[in-house]
Amino acid sequence: MDDFHTSQPIFVQIRQRLIEMILRRQVEEGDALPSVRQIAADLSVNPLTVTKAFEALVDIGVVEKRRGLGMFVTTGARAGLLAHERDKFLREDWPRIAAQIKALDLDIKDLVGADSKPEGQMK
């Protein structure tokens, strides 16, 4: 899990991984998240980096800090994240993807079911 890339700060990548855990229901609303120390040890990063990732999630209301107990996923976190991540995808990622689809002269038939075909085989 410690395969970080250089295009984004590590805390942003950790934040995104925590978001994905919530979206994929690997942790449910009300569940405790792994501790800062545990994540830092697992990823071989500074605990302050993990704390910064958690603070970003607290700021958007997805995680709450319970004194002496740790960090917990808030009620409604998944629904809020779905709305946020969908909007972000449509605003930031989709225009780039749509432009590449157009540049490659692909149509819907090329795309639908493409992920179920063996790699390198589109048609």
Q: Where are the alpha helices (DSSP H) in the chain?
A: 10-23, 36-43, 47-59, 77-88, 94-103, 108-111
> Is 69 found in the same domain as 85?
no
pLDDT at 113: 73
| 67 and 109 together in one domain | no
Please give the pLDDT value at position 70: 94
- Give the pLDDT of residue 112: 83
Mean per-residue pLDDT, 50-61: 96
Residue 5 lies in a domain: no
- DSSP assignment letter at 120: T
Query: According to the model, what pLDDT value does residue 111 have?
Result: 84
Whole-number pLDDT of residue 5: 86
Pick 110 or 87 by higher pLDDT.
Answer: 87
Whole-model pTM: value is: 0.75
Q: What is the pLDDT of residue 120?
A: 54
Statement to judge: residues 72 and 89 lie in one domain? no
- Residue 90 belongs to what domain range? 78-116
Reading phi first (left if > 0) and then psi (alpha if -120 to 50, else beta), residue 92 is in alpha
**Rounded mean pLDDT of 64-74?**
95
